[in-house]
Amino acid sequence: MANQNLTVGIPTPVKIFTWVLICAGCFFFYVYTFNPAISFPNASLDTYSAKMGFASTGVRIIGGVLILLVSLLANKPSWLFATLLGRVFVEIGDLILGLILDGFTSNTIALIVLASLEIWAVSRLWKVIKSNP
């Protein structure tokens, strides 16, 4: 018998978490693109490569924000699943780089918490996807 529940979508706790990611992403888009000194006090934008590096990161952040927003507004668990799974891999990569470059810092803890929450959201979405193909 086919699944009769046609209103299943993204679980509310995952939606709330995604909105938090969207808001944080908009802030970090601003920081990286227009004012990196907010998060990086020693940042220097004196060279083209520094400007390009920060601006490029900002563009990538806003791209991630937009796909989170599209997935959320379309209420597509599979789209959000793929997006968040990609973010998990990025967070793990950032975590490894942070450990290599700076050691264990508050940023390391933040990345661990963020990756853990994204893994939680991915697991919730996986359950929805599996129960409602």
More confident call, 37 vs 119: 119
Q: String of b and e for 73-87 (b: at least 16 CB within 10 Å)?
A: eeebbebbbebbeeb
With cut-offs at 50, 70 and 90, classify the pLDDT of residue 80.
very high
Residues 6+ apart with CB under 8 A from 14: 80, 121, 124, 125
Q: Which tokens in the block code for residue 85?
A: 């799974």
- Across the chain, mean pLDDT equals 90
Alpha-carbon dihedral 16, 64, 58, 22, rounded to 10 degrees:
-10
pTM of the predicted structure, to 2 decimals: 0.85
In this predicted model, what pLDDT tens digit does every residue of 14-61 receive, in sequence order? 999 999 999 999 999 999 998 888 888 888 888 999 889 999 999 999
* In the predicted structure, residue 13 carries a pLDDT above the cut 50: yes
Q: Which tokens in the block code for residue 80?
A: 């959000």
